Amino acid sequence: MESGSGKSKQSDIATMHLWQIQWVRDLILILAIICSVWLGYAMRDITIPLLVAMLLAYLFEPLISYLANHPKFPLGRAPVIVGILTLLMVGVVAILAITIPLVISQTTSLVDDIQDGKLREKLEQLTEQYAPVDVRDEITQTLAYLPSGLEIETDETNVLTSPVSEKDGLLRIAQKTGDVALGILGSIVRFSILAVLIPFYFFFFSLWFPDVVKFCKELIPDDDKDHIEKLLTKMDIAVAGFVRGRIVIAFIMAAILAVGWMIVGVPYAIVLGIAVGVFCAVPFLGLIGIPISVGLLFLDQMGAPEATRMVWWGIIVWPVLVFAIVQALDGWVLTPLIAGKATNLDPVTIFVAVLAGGSVLGAYGMLLAIPVAACIKILIQESVLPNVRAWARGEADDPLPFDSD
């Protein structure tokens, strides 16, 4: 009987197609996921609008489903999606109308300080006063790449000859103005395309979301369907909770950081607060705001009269204190209240995941690292570890591949 059974299994394997073997299908699935992530990164100019629209559809699906199927006032999916899109666009326009003038004003001031040579002058002054003598020359050579505010021209041997003529100066100004205008025009065109494509994609992704979910569920094998759906539900809760929570938390942190740094006197506080708030969407990445805020305040105070200059410890303490208060608010109030323990990852795992994602795919990988790590942890806890423990106790339904029995 055993011999006949063995021959039957060999016959079945001989007549099977390659994709009918379980481990081959698993390997193909893993390779397909890796290739999809790589292809999305390589074609990020095309995939980013699609990913943003898919992310928005995924994040708003609970609200859309609730309003569309409300027992008392069922509105239907299309009207709800149109209403959400309208509110989002009005909100974005209102926020931009308030923040853009401030951002443009502070950005223009920063660019003027760089072009006029004020930033280079302050850095050179700091180098002369505080830099060690053995590295002072290297720092000065590095600062030479910054504009000095004095336009001069050199000959082929890089020897200073004479000031730039008025004609050459006008041509250079016209060239720079044209480059800036083209850059601004290109940014406006790209932003306009995104502003049209993302709502367009979002509407159809949200409209088709239930059908896509239903289709994906039909692809799950019937043998272990309940267990797989349980895993996917836990992954959905972890990913959705983290992403929704971090977006809201980053927005709140950006506003508080901008106001706080403005109060303590950090220059360009609005621009810096918004930038650091965006970085705060990825845990630990917002720490970059500490040295930048302290450095900007230090440079600003160096140019102030000595009578009105802030004490040295205040330059360090006040920006850091603002950031520490915001971080404490995030850790003790915002994250528990808004995101909770969605990913259930410890700080060390989050930090390692962010570094690993950034080293592989840059900022794109940092955004994906924590949700992917949370899904891997759920998969290990719910599927891998129970099987390993069962094998260790000898209670597994199927023997290990290398088990002679």
The DSSP code sequence of 198-256 is: HHHHHHHHHHHHHHHHHHHHHTS-STTHHHHHHHHHHHHHHHHHHHHHHHHHHHHHHHH
E strand intervals along 43-183: 152-154, 160-163
Query: Which letter does DSSP use for residue 146 in this model?
Result: S
Model pLDDT, residue 251: 87
Average pLDDT over residues 34-43: 79
Work out the angle at residue 223's Cα, subtended by the Cα atoms of residues 222 and 227, and round it to the nearest 5 degrees.
90
Average pLDDT over residues 171-189: 60
Q: For residue 219, count CB atoms less than 10 angstroms from its CB and return exposed for 0-12, middle for 13-18, buried for 19 or more.
A: exposed
Model pLDDT, residue 46: 74
**Residue 371 CA to chain centroid, in angstroms?**
12
The answer to which of 7-21, 58-72, 111-125, 273-287 has the lowest mean pLDDT is 7-21
Model pLDDT, residue 103: 66
Model pLDDT, residue 68: 85
Q: Between residues 86 and 397, which one has the greater pLDDT? A: 86
Model pLDDT, residue 307: 73
Q: For residue 232, count CB atoms less than 10 angstroms from its CB and return exposed for 0-12, middle for 13-18, buried for 19 or more.
A: middle
Average pLDDT over residues 341-354: 73
Model pLDDT, residue 256: 92
Average pLDDT over residues 91-107: 72
Q: How confident is the model at residue 363 (pLDDT cuts 50, 70, 90)?
A: low
Region of 147 (left: φ > 0; alpha: ψ -120 to 50; beta: rest) is beta
Average pLDDT over residues 233-252: 82
Residue type, 304: A
pLDDT tens digits for 41-83?
Answer: 777 767 778 877 888 888 888 888 888 887 777 778 888 889 8
pLDDT at 175 over 50: yes
Quick one: three-class SS letters along 157-170?
Answer: CCCEEEECCHHHHH
Average pLDDT over residues 358-385: 78
Say how many residues make up the chain. 405
- The token duo for 220 is 């799950």
Model pLDDT, residue 164: 45
Place of tokens 């601004």: 184
Q: How confident is the model at residue 102 (pLDDT cuts 50, 70, 90)?
A: low
If you average pLDDT over every residue of the chain, what do you get? 75
pLDDT tens digits for 124-169?
Answer: 776 776 667 776 777 777 766 666 655 444 444 444 444 444 445 4
- Which is it for the CA torsion 231, 44, 358, 367, positive or negative? negative
* Segment of 13-27, 99-113, 292-306, 318-332 carrying the highest mean pLDDT: 318-332
Work out the angle at residue 335's Cα, subtended by the Cα atoms of residues 330 and 339, and round it to the nearest 5 degrees.
155
Average pLDDT over residues 354-368: 74
pLDDT at 286 over 80: yes
Three-state secondary structure call for residue 150: coil
Q: Rounded CA gap, 266 and 272, in Å? A: 9
pLDDT at 260 over 70: yes
Model pLDDT, residue 403: 45
Q: How many CB atoms lie within 10 A of CB 354?
A: 20
Q: How many CB atoms lie within 10 A of CB 72?
A: 4
